Amino acid sequence: MKNKSVIAEADDVRRAIEMVSLGARMQMLEAETQLSRERLLRIYKEVRGVSPPKGMLPFSTDWFMAWQPNVHGSLFMGFHRYFAGRSGLSPLDTVLKAYHLYLDHIDAASLEPVLSITRAWTLVRFFDADMLQLAPCGSCDGRYVAHAYDPVHDYTCGLCNMPSRAGKGRGRGKVSPNARAVRERVASMD
């Protein structure tokens, strides 16, 4: 077994701490670092003060088709596309930078974040696997998450055609008066 670079290991530890701070699940940590599971568990417990949650990662693209996850996922993917176009960033750094910018924009619009870092990372993986794509809205010209290979010539986004019960749930994720600002941000991502 080759000796691992101390600098590479320190970088993995730094990234693991950042991902845990953002709420990443163990599966994401294991996929994105070269650290052992035991080491990741120790980092998780030290940063969060509790053991990591158990269970499977989200695996369905359908979650991103509901109106609110779709809008948030589309905003995140706009940021991800921006950072992916910059040279010198690793795929993980691209996801982390895009997620930080997503959180900043959601906070500025006084909204609750809908995407967790693990959902955002999974969304990118769905795009990489050609399971999802960005489709232009026929009304606002923004680009929104849609199933890959679906006909998109008459697509209307969830902000231009909000469901009648939008925001009437359990108090979390209420429609904000700043929804127009979010729509404009998504539309301006091109």
The single-letter code of the amino acid at 54 is: K
Residue 179: C-alpha distances to residues 142, 161, 164, 167 (Å): 14, 12, 15, 11
Q: What is the pLDDT of residues 87-116, one digit of tens each?
A: 789 999 999 999 999 999 999 999 999 999
79 in the same domain as 36 = no
Which residue, chain included where needed, has tokens 């929104």? 144
Torsions phi, psi of 137, nearest 5?
A: -80, 135
1 in any annotated domain: no
53 in any annotated domain: no
44 in the same domain as 98 = no
State how far the Cα of 34 lies from the Cα of 165, in Å rounded to an integer: 45
67 in the same domain as 44 = no
183 in the same domain as 143 = yes
pLDDT at 119 over 60: yes
76 in the same domain as 29 = no
pLDDT confidence bin for 147, thresholds 50/70/90: very high
Residue 33: C-alpha distances to residues 84, 157, 182 (Å): 19, 36, 33
Q: What is the pLDDT of residues 32-90, one digit of tens each?
A: 999 999 999 999 999 999 999 888 877 789 999 998 999 999 999 999 999 998 878 99
Q: State how many domains the chain has.
A: 2
